[in-house]
Amino acid sequence: MDRKLKLSQWIGFIILAFLILVPVLYSLGGALFCNNHLSENLKSFDSNTIKLLLNSILLAISVAFLSSFAGSILGFLLYKTDFAYRQFFKIIFLIPLFISPYIWAVAWKDFFFTLTGPTPEMQSYGDLILVQTLIYTPLAMLITGSAFAHINASLEEAGLMVFPIKKVFFKIILPLIKPALLAAFTLIFIFSISEFSVPAFYGLKVFTTEIFTQFSAFYNYNLAILQSTILVLICLLLILSEQKYLSQAPFLSVSNRGNQIKLYALKTYRFSAYAFLIFWLTISILIPFGSLTIEAFQDGYQTIFKAFELLKSTIAESFILAVTGSLISIFTGVLFAYLSWSKRTDRTSSISKLIHWTLLITFAIPSLIFGISLIKFYNRSGLYFIYGSALIIIIGYMGKYGFIAYKMIENAIRQLPYELDEVAQTEGLPRFKRLQKIIIPLITPAIFGAFILNFMLMFGDLGTSIIIYPPGTQLMPVKVFTLMANAPQSLTAALTFIVFCVTLCIISLFYIIFKKFLKPTYDCR
Amino acid sequence: MKNIIIGLIAFLLINACQKNGPEIVVYTSVDQVFSEPILKDFEKESGIKVKAVYDTEETKSTGVLNRLIAEQNHPQADVFWSGDPIRTVVLKQKGLTRPYFSPKAKTIPEIFKDPDGHWTGFSARARVLIYNKKNFKNLPVPQSIFDLTQAIYKGKFGIANPLFGTTTFHMAALFSVLGDQKAKALLQAFKQNQVVIAASNGDIKKRVLNGALACGLTDTDDAFEAQKESNAIGLVFLDQKGNPPLGTLIMPNTVCLIKNSPQPKNGQKLIDYLLRKSTEKKLAESCAQMPLHKDVTIPKKIPSLDAIVPMSINYIQVALKLKTIQKYLKKWIEN
């Protein structure tokens, strides 16, 4: 590899690290070394704190396991079978990701109240697991679905010639989507363990509520940052184990026919498949979203118009910022995932690893702490052009969600055979031409999936945005949240309904663009 | 794609660097639905562009206060408009405010102003008990906070998490007025009577509205909103009788000028605007807040401060008290 390329990679990493990691390290350094309260704060890690932490880990494992399981079933049904209306369901099942988990929690509580009356209330850990599982299952569906879509059809066909479909599924398909399954588990675990709003709303005590209390009630930033560090360390350990496990697994699955997806006929399983999809549709979307819609329309269209009037000024700005953030994440993700994947042919992996850990740390740290770290670092003369502009939001988005794009794209690239790149290299094709002409066309669905997911998360982000948004900026989720505090229930529901409709329109538009302009290129290969 | 990203970033940068005429940056923890119209009116009248950062009690008013503290070395905000006095007192204690004696505050009672001019109060809310009439067909409506310790209300009443928002302030005021021992006994009795601890005042409002709770402590703005939503909701100003009566906690909005802020002159103009009688009138009409100026015309349903027996407190002392009881409150919630 030429020096110029290596240098530009290091420059790329340094810029990324400066933008998102240095602020976190700066805060952490302040909490650890620049005060005399460290020993006092360390004393507060008593048995109660450990119990709370274990509690949160157990909850996150349960949510991640259940979501990955349900998500992979949905992914298989919608990406690998001849199920009717697959495209429709693919979009519909993403709805829980459109809306803030907090609103979803409110909707579920309302529904249970309507169903059972004042008692029993929704405030047990089981309820928390249920709600979070329903919220994060689409994430697993998207990740595993993208992997199912990438499986080399010839491998499956060869398997089917010798073995029954059940055996092919367990011996060929499942091992091939293992990286995606583990990626989904890891991402959902991290989302769940760092989630604050749902447990706080149900009045349940978890580690993040403890961090929030130290931060907001006691203004003990140093302890809050130290506690956040523990969360980050747990996530790092999980990722390390995942990587160690995956490093021993073979992932070659896409060949020159890899872009042709083999679809299985459901045959006798059709009824069970329909039953499962309708069941999932009911519990994850119809019930909570139905409750919200009924409330939104209880005064006719008037409340809906009022909600739209309140939100219309925020739509364009939120859209531009989320698209910009998603594109940057995808750009970075493709670039560095490719460099990481090509480690067998050169020695670029050290930079890629650094990028991986950089993105992971900022993803795993709670939004509130990340936001405050950004403020402390960027609010200074010389950097005010970032802090005082929408760039701070882009950096916030990149830090919080860049890892997801990277992970999804890396997962897709991992399934490509190295020979593709090696042959092109032997033919003298430069690195970025190989990326552009061979790799990107093969992983277009994964790139699109990562873009959609990043867009949805950024478009709906509240945790980081509410802390860092520049004065005068209007972001849709922030405005909904600040309005709903004192708004009547019907207006809150109407605001959520508008958010849902806007997001659905945008996502549908992206799907149309993908189908019309991107998919043909990908299919023709 | 590279070109699209560069184009978008350039667009954002150009947009951010545009500066047209005078402006002011205000951070507020007052719900946006009420504060935004006031700020828009100021913008129209003064020609000064208002750049606002809003927060809400649902986030426990964490956003703006923590942001102000985090920004202390290089403040961006000119003015902080708080929904209660606690947060401005915290800022004053941290040395983040600067004194300003507004001429518009002369007729506001001294008790609602910082003697050093670091913050000024206006338009107040009160802590009240809201109740669902359907749940009180066979029950007397509590008239004192101590009534809630009676067995007939067991498991039927709620308060928001006392570590956050105006409930913190209420608890600190009770400790300040009753003394630690009596206040702790009251909270212990609440616990024994199975008080429900809700996520926020908004959550209390919602639970009382749908009948999950018979009654709960909240702020007047939430109470009046609840009454707009349902005729079944009643409200009580607690502890109006007795010898002497404990009184109801009155919580004014407070406004302060941020130390070393970029546009202090514009900040002073906004503070003057907020402290006007006309602003108090608007807040009375939009969110049932009680004016602190004497002769403000307000809707009939809004009680006058003169008609309420207030809890006798010193706002600065209450804010100081809060620091000493937080650990106790955390334990109280957890056990």
Residue-wise pLDDT tens digits, A14-24: 888 899 999 99
Contacts of A501 (CB under 8 A, 6+ apart): none
Task: Answer yes or no: do B5 and A331 touch at CB < 8 A.
Answer: yes
Contacts of A147 (CB under 8 A, 6+ apart): A75, A176, A177, A179, A180, A181, A411, A412, A415
Query: What is the reported pLDDT for A12?
Result: 80
Cα B165 to Cα A217: distance, rounded to the nearest angstrom: 9
Q: Which of A482, A484, A490, A495 to mutate to test the interface with B (most CBs of B within 10 A)?
A: A482
Residue B61 has pLDDT above 60, yes or no: no
Query: What is the reported pLDDT for B287?
Result: 86
Helix, strand or coil for residue B129?
Answer: strand
Cα B220 to Cα B204: distance, rounded to the nearest angstrom: 12
Residue A521 has pLDDT above 50, yes or no: yes
Query: What is the reported pLDDT for A258?
Result: 45
Residue A257 has pLDDT above 50, yes or no: no
Q: What is the DSSP letter of A347?
A: S
Give domain status of residue B8, yes or no: no
Characterize B209-242 residue by residue with b for buried, 16 or more Cβ atoms within 10 angstroms of its Cβ, and e for exposed. Answer: bbebbbbbbbbbbbbbbbbeeeebbbbbbbbeee
Paired tokens of A37: 């309260």
Measured between beta carbons, the chain B residues lying within 8 angstroms of A394 are 9, 12
Query: What is the reported pLDDT for A497?
Result: 87
Q: Is B96 on the interface with A (CB under 8 A)?
A: no
Contacts of B254 (CB under 8 A, 6+ apart): B81, B82, B84, B85, B87, B88, B119, B120, B121, B122
Query: What is the reported pLDDT for A254?
Result: 45
- A325: enclosing H helix or E strand: helix A302-341
Query: What is the reported pLDDT for A63?
Result: 96
Query: What is the reported pLDDT for A253?
Result: 45
With cut-offs at 50, 70 and 90, classify the pLDDT of residue A252.
Answer: very low
Give the nearest partner residue to A381 out of B17, B74, B163, using CB atoms: B74
Query: What is the reported pLDDT for B48?
Result: 95
Q: What is the DSSP letter of B48?
A: P
Q: Which of B23, B66, B81 to mutate to test the interface with A (most CBs of A within 10 A)?
A: B66
Cα A399 to Cα A364: distance, rounded to the nearest angstrom: 9
Mean pLDDT of A427-450: 83
Cα B87 to Cα A92: distance, rounded to the nearest angstrom: 43
- Same domain? For B26 and B120 the reply is yes
Query: What is the reported pLDDT for B309?
Result: 93
Q: Which of A359, A355, A325 is nearest to A339 (CA)?
A: A355
More confident site: B26 or A83: B26
DSSP A412-481: HHHTS-HHHHHHHHHTT--HHHHIIIIIHHHTHHHHHHHHHHHHHHHHT--TTHHHHPPTT---HHHHHH
pLDDT digits 0-9 by tens, A4-43:
666 777 888 888 889 999 999 988 887 777 666 666 667 6
Residue that has been written with the tokens 């538009």 in this structure: A509
Mean pLDDT of B244-248: 92
Maximum alpha-carbon separation in chain A: 72
Going by their DSSP bridges, the two strands B196-198 and B215-219 should be labelled as: unpaired
- Same domain? For B142 and B67 the reply is no
- Same domain? For B84 and B146 the reply is no
pLDDT digits 0-9 by tens, A112-137:
777 766 555 556 888 889 999 999 99
Task: Answer yes or no: do A203 and B67 touch at CB < 8 A.
Answer: no
Going by their DSSP bridges, the two strands B49-54 and B120-132 should be labelled as: unpaired
- For chain A, the distance separating the N- and C-terminal CA atoms, rounded to the nearest angstrom, is 28
Least confident among A101-115, B107-121, B138-152, B204-218: A101-115
pLDDT digits 0-9 by tens, A399-417:
999 988 888 888 788 777 7
Query: What is the reported pLDDT for B56?
Result: 63
* B:60-79 residues touching chain A, CB 8 A cutoff: 60, 62-63, 66-67, 69-71, 73-74, 76-77
- Same domain? For B212 and B77 the reply is no
Give domain status of residue B7, yes or no: no
Paired tokens of A221: 């930033």
- Same domain? For B213 and B240 the reply is yes
Task: Answer yes or no: do B9 and A205 touch at CB < 8 A.
Answer: no
- Could you tell me what percent of chain B has a pLDDT over 90? 62
Query: What is the reported pLDDT for A260?
Result: 63
Cα B238 to Cα B153: distance, rounded to the nearest angstrom: 15
With cut-offs at 50, 70 and 90, classify the pLDDT of residue A343.
Answer: low
- Could you tell me what percent of chain A has a pLDDT over 90? 18
With cut-offs at 50, 70 and 90, classify the pLDDT of residue B16.
Answer: low
Mean confidence (pLDDT) of chain A: 82
* φ/ψ (deg, to 5) at B25: -110, 125
Rg (CA), chain B: 21
Residue B153 has pLDDT above 90, yes or no: yes
Give domain status of residue B131, yes or no: yes
Query: What is the reported pLDDT for A238?
Result: 86
Task: Answer yes or no: do A324 and B12 touch at CB < 8 A.
Answer: yes
User: How many separate domains does chain B show?
Assistant: 2
Task: Answer yes or no: do A390 and B59 touch at CB < 8 A.
Answer: no
The pTM of this model reads: 0.80
Domain A24-33+44-524: assigned CATH number: 1.10.3720.10
Residue B205 has pLDDT above 70, yes or no: yes
Q: Which of B12, B50, B94, B270 to mutate to test the interface with A (most CBs of A within 10 A)?
A: B12
Q: Which of B249, B248, B201 is nearest to B226 (CA)?
A: B201
Going by their DSSP bridges, the two strands B23-28 and B49-54 should be labelled as: parallel
Measured between beta carbons, the chain B residues lying within 8 angstroms of A467 are 63, 66-67
Which residue type sits at A301? Y
Region of residue A415 (left: phi > 0; alpha: psi -120 to 50; beta: else): alpha
Task: Answer yes or no: do B34 and A486 touch at CB < 8 A.
Answer: yes
Domain spans of chain A, in order of start: 24-33+44-524
Least confident among A105-114, A443-452, B155-164: A105-114
- Same domain? For B206 and B329 the reply is yes
Task: Answer yes or no: do B74 and A380 touch at CB < 8 A.
Answer: yes
Residue B20 has pLDDT above 60, yes or no: yes
More confident site: A497 or A522: A497
DSSP B207-267: HHHTTSSSEEEEEHHHHHHHHHH-TTEEEE----SSSS---BPEEEEEEEEETT-S-HHHH
Mean pLDDT of B215-225: 92
Mean pLDDT of A354-366: 84
Give the nearest partner residue to A216 out of B16, B66, B210, using CB atoms: B66
User: Which residue range forms the structural domain that includes residue B267?
Assistant: 21-124+252-303
Residue B208 has pLDDT above 90, yes or no: yes
Query: What is the reported pLDDT for A361?
Result: 86
With cut-offs at 50, 70 and 90, classify the pLDDT of residue B156.
Answer: very high
Nearest CA in chain A to B49: A472
The complex's ipTM works out to 0.76
The count of CB pairs under 8 A between chains A and B is: 156
Nearest CA in chain A to B205: A486
- A523: enclosing H helix or E strand: helix A519-524
Helix, strand or coil for residue A396?
Answer: helix
Q: Is B132 on the interface with A (CB under 8 A)?
A: no
Task: Answer yes or no: do A327 and B334 touch at CB < 8 A.
Answer: no
Query: What is the reported pLDDT for A118?
Result: 58
DSSP B179-192: -HHHHHHHHHHHHH
Helix, strand or coil for residue A318?
Answer: helix
Query: Could you tell me the CA-to-CA distances from A456 to A94, A97, A157, B243 in Å, in that order?
Result: 9, 7, 36, 59
Task: Answer yes or no: do A486 and B202 touch at CB < 8 A.
Answer: yes
Task: Answer yes or no: do B168 and A217 touch at CB < 8 A.
Answer: yes
Nearest CA in chain A to B209: A489
Give the nearest partner residue to B16 out of A201, A388, A469, using CB atoms: A388
* B:158-197 residues touching chain A, CB 8 A cutoff: 161, 163-164, 168, 197
Least confident among A92-96, A120-124, A201-205: A120-124
- Same domain? For B239 and B145 the reply is yes
Q: Is B231 on the interface with A (CB under 8 A)?
A: no
The number of beta carbons lying within 10 Å of the beta carbon of residue B137 is 6
Measured between beta carbons, the chain B residues lying within 8 angstroms of A52 are none
Give the nearest partner residue to A389 out of B13, B52, B69, using CB atoms: B13
Measured between beta carbons, the chain B residues lying within 8 angstroms of A327 are 1, 4-5, 8
- Same domain? For B164 and B178 the reply is yes
More confident site: A34 or B206: B206
Measured between beta carbons, the chain A residues lying within 8 angstroms of B334 are 205
Residue B278 has pLDDT above 70, yes or no: yes
Residue B15 has pLDDT above 70, yes or no: no
Q: The domain spanning residue B230 has which CATH number?
A: 3.40.190.10
- Same domain? For B142 and B154 the reply is yes
Mean pLDDT of B272-288: 94
Residue that has been written with the tokens 């009046």 in this structure: B224
Torsion of CA A199, A205, A210, A215, to 10 degrees: 50
Measured between beta carbons, the chain B residues lying within 8 angstroms of A390 are 12, 15-16
Mean pLDDT of A75-88: 85
Least confident among A276-280, A344-348, B295-299: A344-348
- Same domain? For B49 and B114 the reply is yes
| Partners of residue B51 on adjacent β-strands | B25
Measured between beta carbons, the chain A residues lying within 8 angstroms of B165 are none
- Same domain? For B299 and B328 the reply is no
- Same domain? For B198 and B235 the reply is yes
Which residue type sits at B328? Y
Give domain status of residue B179, yes or no: yes
Residue A320 has pLDDT above 80, yes or no: yes
Residue B77 has pLDDT above 70, yes or no: yes
**CA-angle at A141, arms to A135 and A145, nearest 5°:** 165
Cα B62 to Cα B109: distance, rounded to the nearest angstrom: 29
Query: What is the reported pLDDT for B261?
Result: 93
Mean pLDDT of B257-277: 96
Task: Answer yes or no: do A486 and B225 touch at CB < 8 A.
Answer: yes
Task: Answer yes or no: do B70 and A375 touch at CB < 8 A.
Answer: yes
Task: Answer yes or no: do A469 and B59 touch at CB < 8 A.
Answer: no
DSSP A140-158: HHHHHHHHHTTS-HHHHHH
Task: Answer yes or no: do B16 and A205 touch at CB < 8 A.
Answer: no
Residue A207 has pLDDT above 80, yes or no: yes
User: Packing angle between helix A178-194 and helix A221-247, nearest 10 degrees?
Assistant: 170
Characterize A297-322 residue by residue with b for buried, 16 or more Cβ atoms within 10 angstroms of its Cβ, and e for exposed. Answer: beeeeebbebbbebbeebbebbbebb
Query: What is the reported pLDDT for A5?
Result: 65
Mean pLDDT of A353-364: 84
Give domain status of residue B312, yes or no: no
DSSP H helices, A81-169, are 86-92, 95-98, 101-116, 125-148, 153-162, 165-168
Task: Give the burial class of A12: count Cβ atoms within 10 A of its Cβ; 0-12 exposed, 13-18 middle, 19 or more buried.
Answer: middle
* φ/ψ (deg, to 5) at A205: -95, 115
Query: Could you tell me the CA-to-CA distances from A438 to A128, A143, A407, B283 in Å, in that order?
Result: 44, 22, 20, 63
Rg (CA), chain A: 23
